[in-house]
Structure 1
Amino acid sequence: MDLLRAMAVFVSVADRGSFASAAQAQRLSAVMVGKHIRQLEEHLGARLLQRDTRKQRLTEAGAAFLEEARLALEQVRRAETVAERLQDHSRPRGRLRITAPLTLGTHAVAPVVTAFLRAYPEVSVDLALADRMSDLIAEGFDAAIRIGPLSDSDHLVARPLRPYRMIVCASPDYLRERGTPRSPSELPQHSCLNHLLWHPNTGWRFASLGGEPLRLSGRFASNHGEALRRAALDGCGILLQPEVLLAEDLAAGRLVPLFENDLPPPRPVHLLYPRDRQPPPKLSRFVEAVMEAMGA
């Protein structure tokens, strides 16, 4: 049994509440997740999880073991950097594992990574893009870009980046055909392009309307921002999406911004990485690169 791997799987199951979710995070099958948990329980001689058909709950032994497992995984991560520090204190080398949200990662983080790779030829990077919260320690990531409020953590450093600004816009063809709305209150009379993952109480909020969510209708919705952008370019409706996704289209005039002084409030963005008095050069240089390119 790979004890460290089994511990990482257990922490992931405990954090996510199900084998299926942990399997996705750990890039394993649900069957393999179950095998790791069984082997770990046999090794410890104690039941760590109480299972039912839908969810797993920690037993008393599991709750006690969880915190110790977190500490052990963090200690292993720190130990792995010792050899790198001893080799060369100033020369970045080795592999970095980074996680970021899909849209921000594609349009803002990926260009930083490619420039970083050109500058440091002895570093390689795995960039995992997903719109979910990853556990840096349990999943072995060196750093993460996060959108939204953060919970307090003694184990992570959080560096603020430029806020995640949303833009409302439409194509010139749509506005010629349907007219240009002068305020958000006119949006219910228009065809709006909605994101399927947005809860009805989130997304389209404006200060001029007291921050209350707008109930909007439209003929097209998608779970992917790029598909919504494409629909807006083809004149299918009014779009609310991140500025980072739309910047080139706005600059080229393919999309026209609306309500520029009355937009949903921007969301905070942070770069997170494990707290370490002597981070390895590969991580230190990457943090510098991100802060230079995406910092406030």
Structure 2
Amino acid sequence: MDLYGSMSVFVQIVEKGNLTAAASASGMSPTMVGNHLHALEKRLGTSLVNRTTRRQSLTDFGRVYYERCLEILRLVAEVDAHALANHIVPRGRLRVTAPVSFGAEGLMPVLGDYTARYPEVELDITLCDRTVDLIEEGVEAAIRIGSLPDSGLIARPLMPYRMMICASPDYIAKHGEPHRPADLAGHRCVAFRYSAESAWRMIGEEGTSRVRVSGMIQVNNGQAIRVAALNGLGVVMQPEVLLAEDVTAGRLIRLLPNYELPSRPMQIVYLRDHYMSPKLRSFIDFIADRFGV
């Protein structure tokens, strides 16, 4: 028989005073109550209850076992209650990773709304541009940009990661404004180091244009490229989320606005898990609501 169930019946026998009353309280027959008691005594190899035709009393071991049963049943009830609460209320530490530019400029500004809605979730955010191994590094969710390999992860699509070409008003005043993609070949461009050898691609009425840009500065960080543009060091192509506020404020000028720039797919990914925690589910739903397609 189920040990936990038999312990529960034994406690009822002790507290109700006899098998008949314990059966009534437990919603089972006196025979079944007796079977639970016999199963416990057989398992333990000793008697728990002294039974006569007129009364019953606990053996010395029965008294000790009763106290231990009370403690075990209390602990099980507490664990069950804690598990139930965790299935209802998002709580605990949630480890998330995101690319640097999107994380700093897109993700961080909205997290105040998330923490206000779910105050018992502690967010541990890592911003990096490398691909993090969720299992190896104990990360529960990652925002990723670009096409995903077949990794076995679950992915929810987010809005495309759009790009923008900009320069500062001071730079434009000194060097003029490019009106066609080919004009960029004569401008100083601040390129992202890891794509410096690649051409900038744009789509317009004349079709797709690929312009190999050049300049004196290559940088491996999007925020640094933004600062370079703000200080008039050249033309930049960077994510819209990184430059849009500067364009609105007039600190940067959007160039070639009639040309479509390449966008990259963006998604939030997480491990396949039948029992998804409320904290992870709440975060995924929040991100999909804020940045979904």
* Short-chain TM bin: 0.5 to 0.7
Q: Is the 8 A contact 2:88 2:278 kept in 1?
A: yes
> Does residue 174 of structure 1 match 2:171?
yes
- Cα distance in 1 for residues equivalent to 2:264 and 2:230: 25
List aligned pairs for 1:125-144, cutoff 5 A.
125-144=123-142
> Does residue 252 of structure 1 match 2:249?
yes
Query: Structure 1: 5+ residue runs without aligned partners?
Result: 1-81
Determine helix, strand or coil for the equivalent of 2:185: helix
Determine helix, strand or coil for the equivalent of 1:174: helix
List aligned pairs for 1:188-227, cutoff 5 A.
188-201=185-198, 204-208=200-204, 213-227=210-224
Q: 1:184 aligns with which of 181, 184, 187?
A: 181
Q: Is the 8 A contact 1:97 1:140 kept in 2?
A: yes
Q: 1:109 aligns with which of 90, 93, 107?
A: 107
Would the alpha carbon gap of residues 238 and 222 (structure 1) be closer, same or farther in structure 2, given more than 3 Å must change? same
TM-score w.r.t. structure 2 length?
Answer: 0.68
Aligned to 1:41: none
Query: Structure 2: 5+ residue runs without aligned partners?
Result: 1-79
Q: CA deviation at 1:292?
A: 1.3
Q: CA deviation at 1:207?
A: 2.9
Q: Is the 8 A contact 2:181 2:209 kept in 1?
A: no
Q: 1:266 aligns with which of 249, 255, 263?
A: 263
Would the alpha carbon gap of residues 165 and 231 (structure 1) be closer, same or farther in structure 2, given more than 3 Å must change? same
Q: 2:93 aligns with which of 95, 102, 105?
A: 95
Aligned to 1:232: 229
Would the alpha carbon gap of residues 84 and 220 (structure 1) be closer, same or farther in structure 2, given more than 3 Å must change? farther
Would the alpha carbon gap of residues 189 and 113 (structure 1) be closer, same or farther in structure 2, given more than 3 Å must change? same
Give the aligned residue type for 1:244.
V
Q: CA deviation at 1:210?
A: 6.2
Q: CA deviation at 1:270?
A: 0.4
Would the alpha carbon gap of residues 199 and 234 (structure 1) be closer, same or farther in structure 2, given more than 3 Å must change? closer
List aligned pairs for 1:31-46, cutoff 5 A.
none
Determine helix, strand or coil for the equivalent of 1:162: strand
Segment of structure 1 superposing worse, 191-200 or 144-153: 191-200
- Cα distance in 2 for residues equivalent to 1:280 and 1:177: 56
List aligned pairs for 1:154-173, cutoff 5 A.
154=152, 156-173=153-170
4+ residue stretches of structure 1 with deviation over 4 A?
A: 82-85, 208-213
- Cα distance in 2 for residues equivalent to 1:113 and 1:223: 26
> For this pair of structures, how many residues does the alignment match?
213
- Cα distance in 2 for residues equivalent to 1:92 and 1:84: 12
Question: Based on CA coordinates, which of the two structures has the bigger radius of gyration?
Answer: 2
Which deviations, in whole Å up to 9, do the C-alpha atoms of 1:220-251 show, x marking residues without a partner? 22211122111211222111111000111011
Determine helix, strand or coil for the equivalent of 1:92: coil
Which deviations, in whole Å up to 9, do the C-alpha atoms of 1:4-27 show, x marking residues without a partner? xxxxxxxxxxxxxxxxxxxxxxxx
- Cα distance in 2 for residues equivalent to 1:227 and 1:214: 22
Which deviations, in whole Å up to 9, do the C-alpha atoms of 1:166-203 show, x marking residues without a partner? 1001111211221111111110111111111225126x
Q: Is the 8 A contact 1:164 1:269 kept in 2?
A: yes
- Cα distance in 2 for residues equivalent to 1:158 and 1:84: 30
> Does residue 287 of structure 1 match 2:284?
yes
- Cα distance in 2 for residues equivalent to 1:253 and 1:133: 34
Which deviations, in whole Å up to 9, do the C-alpha atoms of 1:28-81 show, x marking residues without a partner? xxxxxxxxxxxxxxxxxxxxxxxxxxxxxxxxxxxxxxxxxxxxxxxxxxxxxx
- Cα distance in 2 for residues equivalent to 1:250 and 1:107: 14
Aligned to 2:75: none
Determine helix, strand or coil for the equivalent of 2:195: coil
Q: Is the 8 A contact 2:193 2:220 kept in 1?
A: yes
Q: CA deviation at 1:213?
A: 4.5
Q: CA deviation at 1:212?
A: 6.3
